[in-house]
Structures are given as C-alpha cells and as structure tokens.
Amino acid sequence: MAATATARVVDTVSAARSTIASWRAAGERVAFVPTMGNLHAGHMSLAALAAAAAPRVVMSIFVNPTQFGPSEDFAAYPRTLAADETLIAAAGDVDLLFVPEAAEVYPFGIEHAVRLQLPPLARELCGASRPGHFDGVATVVCRLLNIVAPDLLFLGQKDYQQLVLMQRMIADLHLPVELRMGPTHREPDGLAMSSRNRYLDAEQRKRAPALQRVLARVRDELRRGARDFAQLTAQACAELENAGLRPDYVEIRRRGDLAAAASARDEERVVLGAAWLGRARLIDNLFV
Ligand code: AMP
C-alpha cells in the first residue's frame, strides 16, 4: 500500500519531476508503471506489484501517437480518464499519476521528434504486421524513463515482445532502471485482459478465449515432448480459423530473447500468438 491513497495528478514534466525529486530527497525509491489508460485489473496488478516493491509508485497514462500505424486505432483508442482515476483511488497503490498531452512528451512535435530504432526483432512477430510500432514504443518509453527516472519499471507479460524489446533497449542504452515483469491477468474464461477487448461484440467476445486455449494446447504438447514446431504452429493457426479468428501468427520462440525455438532448452520456450477478431487484434503468450 502506498503512503497516500489519493494519487496526485499532474500533466507537465516539470510538475512530475519536482514531486519525484522531493521523494528522492527523502531517500525513497520509485517504481513506474507506464500505460495507455482505460485501466483494468491487469494494469492495477502491475501497480500493486510496484507498490510492494518501492515506497513510491508513478503511473502514466498516455496514448502515444508514435506507436500507432496510419490505419490503426489511435483516434478510437478508449480514453476513460475519470474511470481510471476512480480505479486508482480505490486501489490506493499509485502516488503520482502523470497524464501528459502529446506536446509535453514531444516538445518539438511528432514530426520533429528524435526517434529510436530498435533491432530487427522489432520487425518480427507483432512487428511484422505493425510496422514502426515497437520503435514508437521505445521512442515514448525512453522519454518517460527520462522524465520519471524510476528505480524499477513494471511491464506486463501480456505484451511479451514489447517487454523483451524494452529490456534490450534498457541494456543497450545503459538506462539505469531495473525491469520487472507482472503476470498476465485474465478474465474468468481465460481471455487476457486488454483495453482492446471492448472492441469485441457479444458474439466475438465468446470466441475470443480461443486464442489462449489454442496457445495452451501448443504449450501442453511441447511439455509432452512434441518438437515439430512448424506442424504445431500450423495446426494452431488452423484451430484459430475454425474458432472464427483470423490468425496473424502463432510462434514458438526462446523466452529470453525471442530467438528461434530450436536454440532454446525445452523449459525456456514461449508460445506467442496474435489474431484478429472483428476490429480487435488480440495477442497472448504462454511460457512452456
Ligand atoms: P497498455 O495500457 O496496453 O499500454 O499496457 C500498459 C501495461 O500494462 C503494459 O506493461 C502491459 O503489458 C500491461 N498489461 C496490459 N494488459 C495486461 C494484463 N492483462 N495483465 C497484466 N499486464 C497487462
């Protein structure tokens, strides 16, 4: 539990920095949970982990324009600040909520922003169908880390490729922060919680848990000793189609760096998948 139940809400870099500086002056460590808002129990579980790990927790809500492709849902992305603040107040884990406008995060404008370019892994898996997405994530997370200067950064396993890429960015840029992972929070039927689940209509929502079910079956077969990765993933895509989803990919990779699965020890594998269902692009992953 954080020291205060009500989070202070700020929208400028200077206000965020001066609050955080006062904590630092008192010797308090800071944990950071970046989000795009429309908060759900998955986000809040990261805040709870952060509060257990450090006396001060900063959460950001920022729908980052540089990580959306031109045909993606930037304009439609759910913005629910009042409800988000209610959730944060009820949980009491967040000390500072940073809710900047784009002009605050990108003081020279989006077109003139310094941008980061991640290594080739950013063009694989989700990056193959979302060109520039992870570079945009790196471009904003690096800024947020520079603004907040946290000791600890909490990211969710649900966006596992993002997490691996952010770990790489932190190591490669020598950023003085420790990354910690929170487990994927799920609905009772297994669907990973996501702000984009609200794009599903009632009928699609019933089909959506198929992604997790299919990935779990691949995981279980791997645990039982199956090693024909190409056959396993092809069959998984066929099962997703049968369930009414449009598969983007199902892949088996090495957990640490998302290199090819063949290079991993059996217990070091991760099964990742993405599929479209109506307007939503669902992603999920399971460790073997
Ligand atoms: P987003 O608001 O989607 O950018 O997510 C912000 C953070 O919350 C990221 O680190 C996500 O990985 C994490 N997150 C999103 N959904 C979940 C979930 N269902 N369980 C745990 N963490 C999540």
Q: What is the 3-state secondary structure (H, E, C) of the chain?
A: CCCCCCCEEECCHHHHHHHHHHHHHCCCCEEEEEECCCCCHHHHHHHHHHHHHCCEEEEEECCCHHHCCCCCCCCCCCCCHHHHHHHHHHHCCCCEEECCCHHHHCCCCCCCCCCCCCCHHHHCCHHHHCCCHHHHHHHHHHHHHHHHCCCEEEEEHHHHHHHHHHHHHHHHCCCCCEEEEECCCECCCCCECCHHHHHCCHHHHHHCCHHHHHHHHHHHHHHCCCCCHHHHHHHHHHHHHHCCCEEEEEEEEECCCCCEHHHCCHHHEEEEEEEEECCEEEEEEEEC
Residues 32-86 pLDDT 10s = 999 999 999 999 999 999 999 999 999 999 999 999 999 999 999 999 999 999 9
Q: Is the pLDDT of residue 6 over 90?
A: no
Location of structure tokens 């955080």: 20
Q: Which of 43, 133, 174, 185 is catalytic?
A: 43
pLDDT tier, 87 (very low <50, low <70, confident <90, very high otherwise): very high
| Ligand 1 atom nearest to 155, measured from its CA | 10
Q: Whose CA is nearest to atom 8 of ligand 1?
A: 43
Written as one letter, the residue type at 248 is: D
Q: Is the pLDDT of residue 4 over 80?
A: no
Span 201-223, average pLDDT: 98
CA 94–ligand 1 middle distance (angstroms): 16
Q: Is the pLDDT of residue 91 over 50?
A: yes
Catalytic annotation present for 43: yes
| Encoded tokens for 103 | 């002009």
Question: Percent of the chain at pLDDT above 70?
Answer: 98
**Which pLDDT value is given to residue 263?**
82
Provide the greatest CA pair distance for the chain.
Answer: 58
Within a 10 A sphere around the Cβ of 236, how many other Cβ atoms?
A: 24
d(CA 113, CA 59) in angstroms, rounded, equals: 23
Q: What is the mean pLDDT of the chain?
A: 96
Of 32, 36, 38, 46, the residue with max ligand 1 atoms within 8 A of its CB, to mutate for a pocket test, comes to 46
Q: Is the pLDDT of residue 267 over 90?
A: no
Of 126, 159, 162, the residue with max ligand 1 atoms within 8 A of its CB, to mutate for a pocket test, comes to 159
**Which pLDDT value is given to residue 5?**
65
CA 286–ligand 1 middle distance (angstroms): 15
CA 42–ligand 1 middle distance (angstroms): 6
pTM over 0.95: yes
**Which pLDDT value is given to residue 1?**
44
CB-based contact 37:81 (threshold 8 Å): yes
Q: Is the pLDDT of residue 262 over 80?
A: yes
CA 60–ligand 1 middle distance (angstroms): 12
Span 112-123, average pLDDT: 98
Residues 214-249 pLDDT 10s = 999 999 999 999 999 999 999 999 999 999 999 999
| Encoded tokens for 123 | 């063009």
Residues having CB closer than 6 A to ligand 1 are 35-36, 42-43, 45-46, 155-156, 158-159, 182, 184-185, 192-195
Q: Is the pLDDT of residue 2 over 70?
A: no
Q: Is the pLDDT of residue 13 over 80?
A: yes
Q: Is the pLDDT of residue 3 over 80?
A: no
CA 35–ligand 1 middle distance (angstroms): 7
Instruction: Provide CB contacts within 8 A for 116, sequence distance 6+.
Output: 135, 138, 139, 142, 169
| Ligand 1 atom nearest to 184, measured from its CA | 20
Strand partners, 180: 154
Span 88-105, average pLDDT: 98
Residues 122-140 pLDDT 10s = 999 999 999 999 999 999 9
CB-based contact 124:258 (threshold 8 Å): yes
Residues 169-179 pLDDT 10s = 999 999 999 99
